[in-house]
Amino acid sequence: MVDFLNVDEVTKALNTSEPPEGGLNRLELFLSASGFAEAKERIEPLRVIQNLRSAGMAHGKGDRYAAALKRGGLEALPLVDASMKVFQGGVDFIEWVRTDVLKIEDTGPPPLES
C-alpha cells in the first residue's frame, strides 16, 4: 500500500519549494494543510507497515525490526493477531480516506454475477 503512494502528485499538491523527506511525511502535510487535523494519527498505521517492511523484509530482522514491532504495538502479539492488526490499520486508513477525505458513500459490495 505504501509503495503505491503517488509521491509526485502529492508533492505537486503541496505547492512548496521544500517538501519534507518521504512520501508519508508529504501525505501527512498535504492532509493536514487540507484541514484534516487527524492526519498524523491516521497515517500512523502506514508508517508501521513501512517500518516493518523496511526493517524486516528489505534488510533482515534485527534491532530496527524489534523497534518497528514495538512502535506498532505488535511485539507481544501472536503472529496472526499482529498480522490482523497491521492489515486492519491499512483498511482503516483506506476507509477514512474514502469516507472523510473523498466523501464517497458506501454502496456495499457489487452484485454477484450469475
SS3 content of the chain, % helix, strand, coil (to 5): 65, 0, 35
Using DSSP's 3-state secondary structure scheme, residue 25 falls into: helix
Q: How many residues does the chain have?
A: 114
pLDDT in tens, 61-80: 778 888 889 989 999 999 99
Q: How far apart are CA 4 and CA 20, in angstroms?
A: 18
- Residue ranges per domain, the chain? 2-101
| pTM for this entry | 0.82
Task: Flag the least confident range among 27-36, 49-58, 68-77.
Answer: 49-58
